[in-house]
Amino acid sequence: MLTDATELSPQEEHVARSRLCGLAERLTAAGTLRSAQWRAVFQRTWRHPYVPRYYPDHGAAPPVGAADGEQRRAEWLAAVYSDESLITKMVPTPLRKNGWFTSSSTMPSLMLTMLEALDITDGCRVLEIGTGSGYNAALLCERLGGEYVTSVDIDPELIELASARLAAHGYHPTLATVDGAGGYPPGAPYDRIIATCSVPAVPAAWLDQTAPGGMIMADVRGPLGGTVVRLTMNDEGTATGRFLPHYWSFMLMRPGAEEFPPVRPQPAMTAEDAVHSVSDVDPELLHSNGHVGFVTQWHLPGVTFRYAHGDDGQTGIQLDAPDGSIARAWHAKNDKGVHVQQTGPCRLWDRVEDAVTFWHQAGRPNYDRFGVTATASDQFVWYDHPESQHRWRL
């Protein structure tokens, strides 16, 4: 239930107002907040009622909240009115010592970037996938009015809390506890769909529920990363658009409120099976250079990537394909390059090398040189334009 802990004293409200206006000023100066209308909406919408507490350091430190002592309360208020993503829910799991975070209040600069990029106009019907704390729904309601906003989440507790928080501040959007992959048919069609979770491909239901001329904005990502893409729906049911130029990320959309990534067994590779070679591509690039990982994953559909540990203490990266192909590349380099082991019907590391070569020859392109085309039956990532010869199925 909503408590009075987030109510501010006059002095705290003055501090919060000053921080909120200061943040709006900084985001405007940085070019993040460009619209006078969205700036006014941002400055009218409190964030603190939707984040009564947060978990620092990905849950490694105790939560900080409005109900704590004076010093911690000041820390809470400062964090809420900063440009930071704040983890708002942790649940126990044997996979992580500190639990698994399942909801957060996204950094304001990212939410405002997405909202502005969606070109929301008066009367737009918006579906938000991932209600979370309810703060983004509050921004949408402040801009459009609650009757134009629908927000869904798979976690019933989040929906209950968000409903109370929003109602307490005069916002009454349609809220529902459903699997976001299915959208929300009762309110369709929508002029805009915005997802605050990541997906490996655009769910078919979102395409079906978007009106012609409408837009879908979501973080589309593979195993090595991704970023937010903005798609526009045409009259034939095809959505096409480019990735935004900056790296952004959201939590993966979950199929169940308490389901987490499974622990996957590491396929075996025997010394007799492996074909040994030397590569100029450092496996560390796949993790340290977001653009390299972004491009590489599209060249290797269905392949998973994980850290590898050798019996001799070496570390590296392992690639596993559905057909049983495996590749391992070790971080330690010698004067000849990186040691690679491969087995199975497909030489996976050869494809990694092809992807890195493509990226270099293309001039090391940024995310916004790539885009997505999605229909109910097919989806692919493309380079430069939808009809490019460089296309990879999602």
List the catalytic residues.
104
As a whole number of angstroms, the distance between CA 142 and CA 139 comes to 5
**Among candidate residues 7, 16, 6, 20, the one with its CA nearest the CA of residue 52:** 6
How are beta strands 210-222 and 190-199 bridged, if at all? parallel
Structure tokens at 197: 């979770």
Angle of CA points 109, 380, 219, to nearest 5°: 20
Lay out the sheet containing 315-320: strands in order across: 275-279, 337-343, 326-334, 315-320, 304-309
Residue 318 phi, psi dihedral angles, 5° rounding = -120, 135
Which run of H or E residues covers position 360?
helix 348-361
Look up tokens 């109370």; give the residue.
164
Strand, helix or coil for residue 29? helix
Alpha-carbon gap, residue 382 to 373, rounded angstroms: 8
Q: Give the CA distances from residue 2 to residues 13, 163, 164, 188, 320, in Å, rounded to whole numbers and listed in that order.
A: 19, 10, 6, 30, 47
Q: Structure tokens of 378?
A: 């097919």
CB–CB of 27/109 below 8 Å? Answer: yes
| 199 three-class SS | strand
Distance separating the N- and C-terminal Cα atoms of the chain: 41
